[in-house]
Structure 1
């Protein structure tokens, strides 16, 4: 098999040399290792980041043995690698995606000719109206004071992903015994274990607004879905963004994804990162209307339609999706960075 190495020159946003906005410049490597599966139809989808008003993506290379194409998801404009191997893989292989990032500290920003109205609609796990309309009215929220909505979600939610009723589980140990009336940290773990058995979505990490409202424990997807349901119920457009947090230091591994949101008023998008504010309360004021430089965005939006994917809209898209004969297939992934 001929080894292919394609260089993709991503259109870069020119960053003003006179700007004093903090920024960070780093290399990012996204590695996916596929298992041999000869004779079975294999499909692979991997998000590809883009430049925008906040980040500059350059020197993007994709190094792999397998043939692929770059696709664009229509609703939100996200780009992704798509490969279909009808005869499968005779031997294990890697896909290495490498790119440079200049990421600016973000405040309020305008994003081209983006249609904000599409971000008023409900998503499959981000409903609009109903209980969220009732909450907004009961709390007397108004579009003129989105800080109140931000503070409400921050105060209602606990950051946590407890998977065992054990003090050795960091998230379990850090939660209060009683989360809210009728919800204990033990019941959060029980719910997780039961939901996982049936491959359900009513647990943390799915960006399920109803779960966040009922249980009040979750990760960044849950915090920001809750905020989006409330904002959209108030007729304030709100978007979902997902990528990776970049650790301090010169280089290293990256454990997993991170997500945030922004809302639209007066032809401007204002960012929020409520889960980071929960983890670092001293930065709570900053994360209402600002984002730090220690991140890269891979995609935005929910319920993405990907070419060749038959299981319906993708909830959110930051990790690879790999299938063999239409069923989820095993793979390994690794992410790392190096300061430039």
Structure 2
């Protein structure tokens, strides 16, 4: 029996020439001692699906927790409620293995298309996006034209200071478009941090992306989704992490991408921000995703059990509430190791 399984595995490998990666991933959250009387935390937990295999999942923590499922998009997450505060610091260490292959078009089963045709809070449909579609004669039969439009309109950047030490500020052209400079991009970021608000990069705000043309992966793909859905083409948001081309190391932050539905259950992936950064691969990233990633959640405006601060824009980092108010009173660390 073992010999048969071994031969089958060899035959399967010989028929597949797509690049793949196998790695361990560690997601660590540290909570300091805390006098708040009601502490709640939510952490996304990745699952296996048609494009990745998650195995050997373990969660090491002194906290009592539950694993919950977000019903609309099927995301899984850890939930812990701590009454009476934390007398001492504690950690949550989530560890798992990942097998991820390069993919093209994928058939996903059981997807409710109505979840991916309408507006989200920061991903509106129709209106100005209908005007863009009309001005460029976009059709649902040529989504490559929409992809190219977003790629040509947007600049990847998240500058936080008007200084030469900020790599994103230095990389951007002085004038982005009429009425928009790289200094005005920084100014919008500074205002959002001082006064609150989501009209800056990194929030997946389609209107901001359309107006300013500078952003990170969330903004690129929200813009694409608004146009796609305005064409009555279902489009989804996916978020996780890019895995560096190394054998091990730390990971600085998240990465996201999108896909759109065609031919009934077939979904075509796009990674437009990666295409902007890796210009030589811009053709590849329409219809393909490389193997250097892991997905944690998908969808926008997520409803999490007992979360008091409304729908979650997107979910990749821990969410923490202290006595009912959102808090960033934690530290996070992400790392990987090739296996």
In the other structure, the counterpart of 1:77 is 74
- 2:68 and 2:77 in contact (8 A); partners too: yes
1:282 and 2:276 aligned: no
1:150-200 Cα distance to aligned partner (Å, 9 max, x none): 000000000000011111110000000000000000111011101111121
Alignment length (residue pairs): 326
Q: 1:67-106 counterparts in 2 under 5 A?
A: 67-106=64-103
Which whole-Å CA distance do the structure 2 matches of 1:16 and 1:315 have between them? 40
- Over aligned residues, Cα RMSD in angstroms? 1.1
The residue matched to 1:296 in structure 2 has which SS? strand
Q: Name the CA shift for 1:223/1:328 in 2 (closer, same or farther; >3 Å).
A: same
Shift of 1:19: 2.6
Which whole-Å CA distance do the structure 2 matches of 1:24 and 1:158 have between them? 29
The residue matched to 2:106 in structure 1 has which SS? coil
In the other structure, the counterpart of 2:267 is 269
The residue matched to 1:172 in structure 2 has which SS? helix
Shift of 1:203: 0.2
1:336 and 2:335 aligned: yes
Which whole-Å CA distance do the structure 2 matches of 1:221 and 1:69 have between them? 29
Moved more, 96-105 or 321-330: 321-330
- 1:38 and 1:91 in contact (8 A); partners too: no
Which whole-Å CA distance do the structure 2 matches of 1:117 and 1:93 have between them? 41
Shift of 1:54: 0.5
Which whole-Å CA distance do the structure 2 matches of 1:145 and 1:265 have between them? 11
1:144 and 2:114 aligned: no
In the other structure, the counterpart of 2:211 is 214
Which whole-Å CA distance do the structure 1 matches of 2:69 and 2:12 have between them? 28
Select 1:189's aligned residue among 186, 189, 197: 186
Moved more, 236-245 or 318-327: 318-327
- 2:257 and 2:270 in contact (8 A); partners too: yes
1:202-240 Cα distance to aligned partner (Å, 9 max, x none): 000000000000000000000000000000000000000
1:55-93 Cα distance to aligned partner (Å, 9 max, x none): 000000000000000000010000000000111211000
The unaligned stretches of length 5 or more in structure 2 are 1-10
The unaligned stretches of length 5 or more in structure 1 are 1-14
Shift of 1:294: 0.3
Q: 1:131-280 counterparts in 2 under 5 A?
A: 131-267=128-264, 268-280=266-278
Shift of 1:106: 1.1
1:112 and 2:109 aligned: yes
Which whole-Å CA distance do the structure 2 matches of 1:30 and 1:77 have between them? 20
In the other structure, the counterpart of 1:8 is none
Shift of 1:324: 1.0
The residue matched to 2:25 in structure 1 has which SS? strand
In the other structure, the counterpart of 1:5 is none
In the other structure, the counterpart of 1:42 is 39
Which whole-Å CA distance do the structure 2 matches of 1:88 and 1:224 have between them? 39
TM-score (norm 1): 0.94
Shift of 1:16: 5.0
Shift of 1:146: 0.4
Which whole-Å CA distance do the structure 2 matches of 1:210 and 1:132 have between them? 9
TM-score (norm 2): 0.95
